[in-house]
Structure 1
Amino acid sequence: MSGHYQHRFILVVRKTRLQELIERFNTWPQARFYLEHNQVDAQDYLDEHDMYQRRLQEAERTLKALGRFQLLERHLLPNYQFSPDDIVITIGQDGLVANTLKYLNGQPVIAINPDPRRWDGKLLPFEIGDLHAVVLRTVAGKSACKTISFAEAKTNDSQQMLAVNDLFIGPKSHTSAHYRLSWNGHQETQSSSGIIISTGFGSTGWFQSLLAGALGVSGTTSHPLKEGFAWHEKRLQFTVREPFPSRTTGISMIFGVITPNTPLKLESLMPENGVIFSDGIESDFLAFNSGTVVTINLAAIQGQLIV
């Protein structure tokens, strides 16, 4: 039996916009009426869906010919038991790659762009025609890969959350967060609209919008982190959003680096509506209310993205 049969190929997929609309409106005719009533091109939804389904069928044929195969819907990721020898393939946008990585423990991920004309895909180095060759290289241990450092949030009641791109800690809605921040031997009580902790992988995403806003306000155009930082770096970057100076709240620690030796600690001073969520998934959150202390540091596990 050839070596690649020792591996299982997990194809991670997500619903298309068309499928999500049909779930919302029960039928495609009702969904199409909604789109056309709002002067949206329904054909674009059909074209995207058809292209995605063709790519899934091509990927399934390729992977079944190479070994054991499993199709996995994105929403099942949190409860799926991956094996150490699994090779994971994603077909979708960048967000699917990030969402998949944090449920793995070092298994390699091959990210396929289903429609390069539609998606830029900064994290999608391959097209469907590359799949067979890149799988064989990966099985043989000859594929190059990039290591990705994760952020980890741990609370004082033993809850834990990983982030591939970033963590948000703050208010559930558009109100102010109140907390006590401890970092690098200093402590400060703050009021803000929340804190973003970015990984190197996420440093070209949400982090860049925060940096762009700060540069715009200050009237400058350059910053050492304007291009982000490397995915594998053993560091995180925290940014306090809209810090408010007052008689009881400070603004002296609003931007800093988290390393294994300088973790960030936050104690909630909010009786309710405080949350911690990762990678933009607001529905999956940890409560951050009075009595909760969370420590942010680099996670012990790392991701592996085939390039």
Structure 2
Amino acid sequence: MTLAPRVVLVHRNTEYHELLARHGTRGQAAFFLAGRGRALDEVEQRHRQAEAALTEVAAAVPLDWRRAKVERGDLDRFLFTPQDLVAVVGQDGLVANVAKYLTGQPVIGIDAEPGRNPGVLVRHRPGDTAELLRLAAAPGAGGALEERTMVEAVADDTQRLLALNEIYLGQRGHQTARYRLAPPGTAGEAQASSGVLVGTGTGATGWCRSAWLERRSTLALPAPAAPELAWFVREAWPSPVTGTTLVEGSCAAGEELALTVESDHLVAFGDGVESDALQLTWGQTVRLRVAGERLRMLV
């Protein structure tokens, strides 16, 4: 007997949920905001919009299919199966949050707040869900899967981190980080900086693009599906023992960017999630490269 498809609805708590969790009641949350010249109305309106989108997407799942729902904060404890269809209802960043927990399952990005999100990864509307699920469940029925490159960091003690947008390496508090950076084909350079960003083509629309624009770089940023990474050193500081000549570049598939720690403690985290970080100590080396895993987005 063949099991019916399982749809996993991925969402995140709204700002309204967070205010209630912090202040206990709606009245207390409204009082807190009023004291700062703000009103709860906009937060409530966005909350209702997000809840309505999630409800509409859930209602589009066929009655004879299995379903599950997981909030962003529980992703690290949720068990995805290879046969799942994943519907992410929220912002672009939520797709990045879930990507590292997947192993090739089709992902449908659904924009819960059209007009507020860039729509790079959440391209679809809640009303399209039924048709999108039909396409995702029947390969070859007309739906196209776009594969996006991911980046991995592997430390010499086997710690491993996977990300869709970018990986940041540096001090947790963004103070000066000291390390030796060795891009492909170079002898390397000792550096002191605000950290290193290593991003994919998807990340080239976010934090890496910010670094690229700020320095007016001429480096060609990779496309989302290209098996290539771009890297940037943030605010490298010259001194008698640290240099600033190796501050940006790219890594093709099969190449690695190596970083050897020369501080007491550095971290590496992906896609802005600082709570899930590699812990690196003096003398350790971490290698960054194109990951074998890819995110498969239904377009």
Q: TM-score range by the shorter chain?
A: over 0.9
The residue aligned with 1:234 is 227
Q: What are structure 2's unaligned runs of at least 5 residues? A: none
The residue aligned with 1:163 is 163
Tell which deviates more after alignment, 57-66 or 262-271: 57-66
The residue aligned with 1:147 is 147
Post-superposition CA distance 1:26-81 (Å, at most 9, x none):
22211111111111231011111111112222221211525111111111211222
The aligned amino acid for 2:223 is: A
TM-score (norm 2): 0.94
For the residue of structure 2 that corresponds to 1:246, the secondary structure is coil
The residue aligned with 1:61 is 59
Give me the whole-angstrom Cα distance separating, in 1, the residues matched to 2:219 and 2:167. 22
Question: What is the aligned-residue RMSD (CA, Å)?
Answer: 1.6
Give me the whole-angstrom Cα distance separating, in 2, the residues matched to 1:118 and 1:158. 39
The residue aligned with 1:181 is 181
In 2 relative to 1, CA 144–66 (structure 1 residues): closer, same or farther, beyond 3 Å? Answer: farther
Is contact 1:150–1:301 with CA below 8 Å preserved after alignment? yes
For the residue of structure 2 that corresponds to 1:223, the secondary structure is coil
Instruction: Note the C-alpha offset of 1:133.
Output: 0.7
Give me the whole-angstrom Cα distance separating, in 1, the residues matched to 2:67 and 2:248. 45
Instruction: Note the C-alpha offset of 1:122.
Output: 2.2
For the residue of structure 2 that corresponds to 1:203, the secondary structure is helix
Instruction: Note the C-alpha offset of 1:189.
Output: 0.8
In 2 relative to 1, CA 256–224 (structure 1 residues): closer, same or farther, beyond 3 Å? Answer: closer
Aligned-pair identity in percent equals 34
Post-superposition CA distance 1:184-239 (Å, at most 9, x none):
23211111110000111111111111011101xxxxxx8363xx431111111110
The aligned amino acid for 1:176 is: T
The aligned amino acid for 2:158 is: S
Give me the whole-angstrom Cα distance separating, in 1, the residues matched to 2:293 and 2:271. 17
Post-superposition CA distance 1:144-186 (Å, at most 9, x none):
1211111000111111100110000011224211001122232
Post-superposition CA distance 1:98-140 (Å, at most 9, x none):
1111110110100111121433322211101100011111111
Aligned pairs (5 A) from 1:64-75: 64-65=62-63, 67-75=65-73
Is contact 1:149–1:199 with CA below 8 Å preserved after alignment? yes
The aligned amino acid for 2:47 is: H
The residue aligned with 2:237 is 244
- Please identify runs of 4+ aligned residues in structure 1 that moved more than 6 A: none
For the residue of structure 2 that corresponds to 1:84, the secondary structure is coil
The residue aligned with 2:194 is 193
Tell which deviates more after alignment, 50-59 or 115-124: 115-124
The aligned amino acid for 1:187 is: G
For the residue of structure 2 that corresponds to 1:82, the secondary structure is coil
In 2 relative to 1, CA 168–178 (structure 1 residues): closer, same or farther, beyond 3 Å? Answer: same
Q: 2:278 pairs with 279, 286, 303, which one?
A: 286
For the residue of structure 2 that corresponds to 1:257, the secondary structure is strand
Is contact 1:177–1:194 with CA below 8 Å preserved after alignment? yes
Q: 2:105 pairs with 104, 107, 112, which one?
A: 107
TM-score (norm 1): 0.92
Give me the whole-angstrom Cα distance separating, in 2, the residues matched to 1:189 and 1:262. 20
Give me the whole-angstrom Cα distance separating, in 1, the residues matched to 2:75 and 2:272. 16
Give me the whole-angstrom Cα distance separating, in 1, the residues matched to 2:289 and 2:174. 26
The residue aligned with 2:218 is 223
Q: 1:298 pairs with 284, 290, 298, which one?
A: 290
The aligned amino acid for 1:60 is: A
Q: What are structure 1's unaligned runs of at least 5 residues? A: 216-221
The aligned amino acid for 2:288 is: I
In the alignment of these two chains, the number of paired residues is 296
Post-superposition CA distance 1:248-279 (Å, at most 9, x none):
1112211111123320111101013x111110
For the residue of structure 1 that corresponds to 2:203, the secondary structure is coil
In 2 relative to 1, CA 84–174 (structure 1 residues): closer, same or farther, beyond 3 Å? Answer: closer
Instruction: Note the C-alpha offset of 1:241.
Output: 0.7
Instruction: Note the C-alpha offset of 1:280.
Output: 0.7
